[in-house]
């Protein structure tokens, strides 16, 4: 159980959290490594590494056999499915394991596409990662019309009026991201799902970027499908698809004949990555332990250092005091609330610090009063330095950032930065510290010559 010191403005025990992630202790050229590459993939706690190697050492087998290691493999998959169901708040048979979000989305677009006819329409957005764009756009080959909702270039928020205009009586599916993996905008997906339902269309939510930053509740959202990738929220490299049971049963997957017709296994083809599935269970165990500590410490009701409650902090069950023995789902809720609270504090330091650097331009929501509508992922450009040059200079100093378009191709094209290297992306998650943000800002000021 965590016992170490806590940061003064947030309730997370960062010493304990960071001790869970072996990778965070690395150095580069004598500098401590600062992992700001979470949007491309987060680091994993020791227990995920152990679960993967333990599976390979002791349980490695295929499924459905009449012997011990195969039984163990079956149990591990059942446990991981039920853990993921608690993470998303659905039933275990609504969880599909896959290689990654992109592969799962192509599988689903092919199956949904089987039922579409020329003249049917699909609504997408120009803010999304290409993995929630191209798999749907290929359905143009079936005569399907693709409509793409715009975003507001000034703050990179989704233009909800335009989105509502794009949805018509011919719309069969609306596919939208929960949060942008580039500019960090959190979309009002609940409203998008409502608009889709009102038009009789399916909703497909890409929660890959949102998952490490905010609680997902597919029941509350009432979405038809939601996808995420465990390697973005401290697990191994795999993808997860939630689908309402009725659609997983009714739609027709392309699959081999001997594969079962049972839901959800009819969507899982060939042999899965069992060792990573063992790692997924361990990843959810980490979220659960973090949440149990938050609940037992009851620290979230604490005021921030400026005396004001952070408006992003909204988890009532934790605000009103810890449950005596929280369920796994309750612990996950508490962990997310604490992580979001901490990330909010980091963002409140990072963004004003970035805006104060001469020659630096930030894309996305910059007004602290609107930080509820963004997560701790920020993109910038700096005069006189391409994003690659910036990322390289930061990399030499131990800061791991990304440059380019991160597959949010429509966004970089619309903002006119695609031809000149895209953006520099700084991605914070709950294991990042205030001190890392300070050091990053100092490094950027030095590079800017400020």
Ligand X SMILES: Cc1ncc(COP(=O)(O)O)c(C=O)c1O
Full 3-state SS string of 126-168:
CCCCHHHCHHHHHHHHHCCEEEEECEECCCCEECHHHHHHHCC
| Residue 206 touching ligand X (CB under 6 A) | yes
77-98 burial code (b ≥16 CB/10 A, e <16): bebbbbbbbbbbbbeebbbbbb
**Minimum distance, C-beta of residue 228 to ligand X, in the bound complex (Å):** 8
Considering the complex, what minimum distance in angstroms separates the CB of residue 449 from ligand X?
Answer: 32
Stretch that binds ligand X, among 203-211, 339-347, 357-365, 376-384 (CB under 6 A): 203-211
Query: What's phi and psi for 408, nearest 5 deg?
Result: -85, 60
Residue 208 within binding range of ligand X, rule CB under 6 A: yes
Place of tokens 């296994």: 265
Instruction: Give the ranges where 364-429 is alpha helix by DSSP (H).
Output: 387-396, 409-414
Helix, strand, coil: what percent of the chain each, to 5?
Answer: 45, 15, 35
Q: 185 or 432: whose CB is closer to ligand X? A: 185
**Count of residues near ligand X by CB under 6 A:** 13
425 binding ligand X? (CB under 6 A): no
Residue 226 corresponds to which tokens in the numbers above? 């939601």
Shortest distance, position 231 Cβ to ligand X, whole Å: 7
Stretch that binds ligand X, among 119-127, 157-165, 196-204, 206-214 (CB under 6 A): 206-214
33 is an interface residue for ligand X by CB under 6 A: no
Among 42, 102, 401, 412, binds ligand X (CB under 6 A): 102
| Residue 328 interacting with ligand X (CB under 6 A) | no
The one segment of 202-210, 256-264, 275-283, 412-420 that binds ligand X by CB under 6 A:
202-210
Q: How far is the CB of 127 from ligand X (least distance, A)?
A: 10
DSSP H helices, 203-301, are 218-221, 245-250, 274-297
The candidate with the shortest Cα–Cα distance to 158, out of 172, 148, 147, 168, is 148
Identify residues 238-277 at the interface with ligand X (CB under 6 A).
239
Q: Is residue 444 a contact residue for ligand X (CB under 6 A)?
A: no
| The two structure tokens encoding residue 410 | 């429509």
Of 131 and 440, nearer to ligand X (C-beta) is 131
Per the structure block, which two tokens stand in for 282? Answer: 């361990």
Contact present, 43 and 24 (Cβ < 8 Å): yes
Report angle CA 322, 347, 369 to the nearest 5 degrees: 85
x/- binding map, residues 116-135, to ligand X, per CB under 6 A?
-------------x-xx---
> How many other C-beta atoms lie within 10 A of the C-beta of residue 415?
21
100 interacts with ligand X by CB under 6 A: yes
CB of 430 to ligand X, least distance (A): 17
Quick one: 239 or 398, whose CB is closer to ligand X?
239
Q: How far is the CB of 415 from ligand X (least distance, A)?
A: 17
Please report whether residue 181 would count as binding ligand X according to CB under 6 A: yes
- Token pair, residue 349, equals 């330091």
Q: How far is the CB of 92 from ligand X (least distance, A)?
A: 21
Least spacing, CB of residue 206 vs ligand X, in Å: 5
Strand 157-158 and strand 151-152: the pairing is antiparallel
Binding site for ligand X (CB under 6 A): 100-102, 129, 131-132, 177, 181, 206, 208-209, 229, 239
């Amino acid at each position: 159980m965590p016992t170490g010191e806590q940061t003064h403005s947030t309730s997370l025990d960062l010493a304990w959290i960071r001790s869970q992630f072996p990778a965070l202790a690395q150095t580069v050229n004598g500098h401590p490594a600062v992992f700001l590459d979470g949007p491309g993939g987060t680091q994993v706690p020791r227990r995920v590494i152990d679960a993967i190697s333990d599976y390979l050492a002791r349980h490695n087998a295929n499924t459905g056999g009449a012997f011990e290691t195969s039984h163990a493999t079956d149990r591990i998959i059942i446990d991981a499915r039920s853990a993921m169901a608690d993470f998303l708040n659905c039933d275990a048979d609504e969880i599909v394991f896959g290689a990654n979000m992109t592969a799962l989305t192509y599988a689903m677009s092919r199956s949904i596409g089987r039922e579409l006819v020329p003249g049917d329409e699909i609504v997408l957005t120009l803010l999304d990662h290409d993995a929630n764009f191209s798999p749907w756009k290929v359905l143009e080959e079936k005569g399907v019309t693709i409509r793409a909702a715009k975003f507001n270039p000034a703050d990179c928020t989704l233009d909800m009026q335009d989105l509502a205009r794009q949805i018509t009586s011919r719309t069969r599916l609306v596919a939208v991201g929960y949060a942008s993996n580039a500019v960090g905008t959190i979309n009002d997906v609940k409203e998008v799902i409502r608009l889709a339902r009102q038009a009789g269309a399916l909703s497909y939510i890409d929660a890959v970027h949102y998952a490490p930053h905010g609680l997902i509740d597919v029941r509350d959202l009432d979405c038809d499908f939601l996808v995420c990738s465990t390697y973005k929220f401290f697990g191994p490299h795999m993808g997860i698809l939630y689908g309402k049971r009725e659609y997983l049963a009714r739609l027709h997957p392309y699959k081999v004949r001997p594969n079962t017709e049972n839901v959800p296994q009819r969507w899982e083809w060939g042999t899965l990555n069992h060792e990573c599935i063992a790692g997924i269970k361990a990843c959810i165990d980490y979220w659960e332990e973090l949440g149990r500590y938050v609940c037992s410490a009851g620290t979230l009701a604490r005021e921030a250092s400026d005396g004001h409650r952070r408006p992003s902090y909204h988890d009532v069950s934790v605000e009103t005091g810890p449950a005596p023995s929280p369920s796994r789902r309750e612990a996950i809720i508490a962990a997310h609330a604490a992580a979001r609270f901490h990330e909010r504090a980091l963002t409140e330091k990072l963004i004003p610090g970035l805006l104060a650097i001469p020659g630096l331009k930030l894309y996305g929501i910059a007004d602290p009063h609107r930080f509820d509508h963004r997560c701790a992922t920020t993109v910038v450009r700096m005069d006189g330095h391409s994003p690659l040059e910036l990322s390289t200079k930061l990399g030499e100093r131990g800061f791991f950032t990304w440059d380019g378009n991160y597959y949010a191709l429509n966004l970089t094209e619309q903002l006119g930065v695609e031809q000149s290297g895209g953006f520099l992306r700084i991605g914070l998650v709950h294991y990042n510290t205030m001190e890392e943000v300070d050091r990053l800002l100092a490094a950027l000021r030095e590079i800017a010559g400020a």
